[in-house]
Structure 1
Amino acid sequence: MLHAFHRISLLTGALCLSASVAFAAAAMPGTPAALTKPSAWTTPAGNTVLATPERIKAMNAQMDKAIFGDSIQDLGPTISGDKLTGYVNAFGMDEDQYVQRAPLSHSFAAQLVQDAKANIRPTNTVKYGVVVDRVDLRSFPTLQRAFDSASDTQFDNWQETAVDPATPVRVYHTNPQGNFIFVRTPHYRGWVPRNKVAITDAKTWQTYANPASPAVVTGRVLTLQAGSQSQLYQMGTAIPTRNGNLLLPTRDHQGYLQIVPVKAAYGTDLHQGYLPYTANNTIEMAFKHLGAPYGWGGMHNSVDCSSFVQDVYKTMGIQLPRNGDEQAQSFPGKSFQGMTHDQKLAYIKTAAPGSLLFTPYHVMMVLGNSNGTPYMIHSLASYGMETSSGVVKNRIMQVVVSKVDLMAGSGTPLVDQMTQCNTWR
């Protein structure tokens, strides 16, 4: 007899692999077209395995401890009201914003803050859930978007990240209206619509939290059909399998997990297990995003600078934190403190392909050197262009290949703003 929270559909859904969309990569200053192909950067030596699965598991545990102090699998059955209130309050409300092109009202802001805390009890049961549809993770229980200006539509201040189907979550509590839940994902906390998560039991949840033989999405995005439901998966998502079938999660009318087995069709966009951690695999995965739109917090079903590198590394089983500052803190790296422009460039020329470069606001991936010039690939919002009237900001909003000393929108080379270089080994 199946557990009440775990109902396996007897229907086998049809698998639909989405065709990869080809994006036109923008021409960048100082980047020849020949360098915008992965073959320009892959080498025979790049097939060397850089870390074993056992080492990767240890790195993941180290990063979880550095950022959260625990992993999602370590969470207990309850959480205290004080601790949960602290998590909710971590998303501070700034009222100097615009919602629907109008100034954010004090009453709406206050209502959101109140709704976020209203149902917190002295002791709160933490449920097990699985995401069933790609969904925005929000700072507050609302899908309304908040911007710094009335004209902006790209940088939503209440957008934390996007979460893919098959992602395990723990459910902390619900807003008074019952339409949003506050969750912990493996790498984040925030609010999602309640109908995007299916509740299950602890044993079944482990199927998604710790899949024994996952299928891993290696396309930029992949669309799968779970019965009548179309699901969008982004690169790096691990989908559990059993007997050659993908175990796609759906939600029944009562809100419980219903698993739809779908025959796995492996190819360029879906891999049986994680890819080996090699420089060439890192580069190949990164270039699948070239030209893709910049998506702040996962908007537009795409990537910003930190989710770009996170998704690439996830294909090889390396679970980087979501945000750039956390990625920089999560693993030992080379500090650039006190280094000059030339000293930074000299170090970056020696950095291994796939190494990450950090500024306080941006993350970039090292590709290597061409004719003595170091290059990188990154999801970029804008850069600086010199004109007769001075430096102007060119909003490009896509994944690009550029020189490491590309000019930032502020008018200074990005390399001058770089603080650190991390190499995962």
Structure 2
Amino acid sequence: MICKWGGAVKSQSFLRAWAFSALGLVLVACDKPHDTHSVEPQKINASVPLSFASVKFETDVPQLQERMLRPEFWQRRLSSDAARLRAEEIQTLNAKSLGSDPFLNNLDQFPSDVSGDRVIDMINQVSRPASSPRYRVDGSLFTERDYAQLDAAVQRSAVPEQVKVRWGVVVERASMRSYPTDTRVLKNAGDMDLDRFQETGVFPGQRLAILHESADGEWWFAVNYHYAAWLPKRAVAIGERGAIDRWHRQSPRLTVTGAQVRTNYNPVDPRTSEVVLDMGVSLPLLSAADVGHNVNGQNPHASYIVALPVRDAQGALAFEPTLIGRAQDVTPGLLEYRPSLVLQQAFKFLGERYGWGHDYNGRDCTGFVGEVYKSFGILMPRNSGQQGKSDFAPTKRFGPEDHAARAEAIAALRVGDLIYIPGHVMMYIGQVDGEPYVIHDVTGLSYYQTDESMYRGTLSGVSITPLSPMRLSEEKSYIDGIYAIKTII
């Protein structure tokens, strides 16, 4: 066991909280300077050896201290924690964005029929050969013949002159892909982390406008609120638009506020059993008055009851009462949008493995910030370039030579502000001794060392870094590359 306070290992005489034994294991809490009451220590199982060994924190991230890896460190530094937007103001913000942002899709206003030319144009936005070589996982080149086979799977010739839109709901976490295939295609042979056919993730409860299907009948080409691409049919249930819209508007709702939670185990219906729900997923709440006191063999009094979308054997949509334990990281309604909770939500992803386009059961830089803000009900475009160009929030924009304006904007950053550099977005969390720090989902780590040599390392996850030392290249810093900063108010 490690028991450490203030950098010095404490002897057993300093232990003063609680101990309990279960299956021969003992847990002991350490003295902390903010404790204001005493608790008599219980007898510790003497048969279990106690080990007091400290582990020194080591990192190649410059200027980073271990204490900075806790949200409380940054929350204590807030000068104000006032709510920024009320729930109705967030609804107004989203309505404005969905009505005017070219990178968002207002499914409430989506037409019932779409021209075939428009559908083909949307398909062509994602289903196109790369301009540079691509490789299979085994290192072999992805050839023109391979692309031809994928084009056949897309079957553009089967798109009619007028497409009747079908409607669906996502029932399980899945990927949206460039082509209707699970084949991983890499930019560099051996670089497994970046599957270039991976576009984004979809999550239970997301509505879909369905426009086309693959030649093998296993994939849909569909539109959600911020993307259009291919996804497997197994992840989608087809329903009637009116019923889907009523379910989508149903209130009150339960919001997932943890990085991921799962529905309760259900031995009766596997469709609702241990379903993975990512941060920001929102589902209608039900009560025992609606469904009774026995939900699939479990009393619901200690759980929330939600109407979960499910898919039957024919692919049709239904909504099933499903339990999510009250101990799970969820909240009725939405979180109040204020700085301390933005920090709380962002740090729930700290250390998660980077996943390009929501690959690896994770997320990338824009998936990260998007899910954090969805827990407050705020919607934004999918990709960093789209977000940076968009006007979904007040934005300061900079040209390459706007050094003074950029420095002034950095000095005025507010917790939760989004900082855009080419191909990447970061979230500002505060400053220490004048140095701004960010949390971001990032792959690489580059900076100049004290001997003026360039250090290149790996992060590949949600990380805390200082802003100033980070480099895009030997010639260009992160700060030099900032082209937009957004404050969501």
Answer whether TM exceeds 0.5 for this pair. yes
CA distance in 1, matches of 2:259, 2:409: 31
The one-letter code matched in structure 1 to 2:251 is: A
How far is the alpha carbon of 1:370 from its aligned partner? 1.3
Counterpart mapping for 1:19-34 below 5 A = 28-34=61-67
Aligned-partner SS, 1:146 = coil
Is it true that 1:270 corresponds to 2:330 in the alignment? yes
Relative to structure 1, the CA distance from residue 188 to residue 149 in structure 2 (aligned partners, 3 Å threshold; closer, same or farther) is same
Question: Equivalents in 2 of 1:111, 1:405: separation in Å?
Answer: 47
Residue in structure 2 matching 1:152, options 179, 182, 191: 191
Give the 5 Å matches for 1:319-398: 319-331=379-391, 332-337=394-399, 344-386=406-448, 390-398=453-461
Q: Indicate whether 1:97 and 2:134 are aligned.
A: yes
| Structure 1 counterpart SS, 2:158 | coil
Q: Higher relative CO (CA 8 A, sep ≥ 6), structure 1 or 2?
A: 1
**1:219–1:46 distance in 2 versus 1, CA, 3 Å:** farther
Task: Name which of structure 1's ranges 260-269 and 355-364 shifts more when overlaid on structure 2.
Answer: 260-269
Once residues 205 and 29 of structure 1 are traced to their aligned partners in structure 2, the CA distance between those partners, rounded to angstroms, is: 49
Mapped to 2, the partners of 1:423 and 1:77 lie a distance apart of 36
TM-superposed CA distance for 1:27, in Å, is: 5.5
1:345–1:374 Cα contact (<8 Å) kept: no
TM-score by length of 1: 0.89
Question: Hey, what's the Cα distance between the residues in 2 that align with 1:166 and 1:45?
Answer: 37
Question: What residue is the counterpart of 1:76 in the other structure?
Answer: 111
TM-score, normalization: structure 2? 0.78
Q: 1:190 aligns with which of 226, 229, 234?
A: 229
**Secondary structure at 1:102 match in 2:** coil
- Any conservation in 2 of the 1:336–1:419 contact (CA below 8 Å)? yes
Matched, 1:111 2:171: no
Aligned partner letter, 1:150: A
Larger radius of gyration: 2
Gaps of 5+ in 2: 1-56, 288-303
SS at match of 2:344: helix
CA deviation after TM superposition for structure 1 residue 328, in Å = 1.7
Counterpart contact for 2:263–2:325, Cα < 8 Å:
no
SS in 2 for 1:263: strand
Change (3 A) 1:208 1:322: farther
Q: Quick check: 2:104–2:225 contact (8 Å CA) kept in 1?
A: no
Deviation at 1:267, TM superposition (A): 4.5
Q: Which residue of 2 aligns with 1:66?
A: 101
Q: Say whether the 8 Å CA contact 1:216–1:238 is kept in structure 2.
A: yes
**Aligned AA for 1:240?**
P
Tell which deviates more after alignment, 187-196 or 27-36.
27-36
Give the conservation status (yes or no) of the 8 Å contact 1:383–1:409. no
Note the C-alpha offset of 1:329: 2.3
**Corresponding residue SS for 1:249:** strand
What SS is found at the alignment partner of 2:325? coil
Q: Describe the shift of the 1:58–1:339 C-alpha distance in structure 2 as closer, same or farther (beyond 3 A).
A: farther
Q: Deviations over 1:236-263 (max 9, x none)?
A: 1112222252111221111101222123
How many residues of Structure 1 are paired with residues of Structure 2 in the alignment? 402
Partner of 1:415: 479
Partner residue in 1 for 2:465: 402
Give the deviation of 1:347 after TM superposition: 2.2
Gaps of 5+ in 1: 1-23
Which SS does the other structure have where 2:366 is aligned? helix
Q: 1:203 aligns with which of 242, 249, 266?
A: 242
Q: Deviations over 1:138-161 (max 9, x none)?
A: 011111111112211111111000
Q: Among 101, 120, 128, which residue is 2:159 paired with?
A: 120
* Correspondence for 1:50: 84
- Distance of 2:433 and 2:464 partners within structure 1: 15
8 Å CA contact retained: 1:162, 1:299: yes
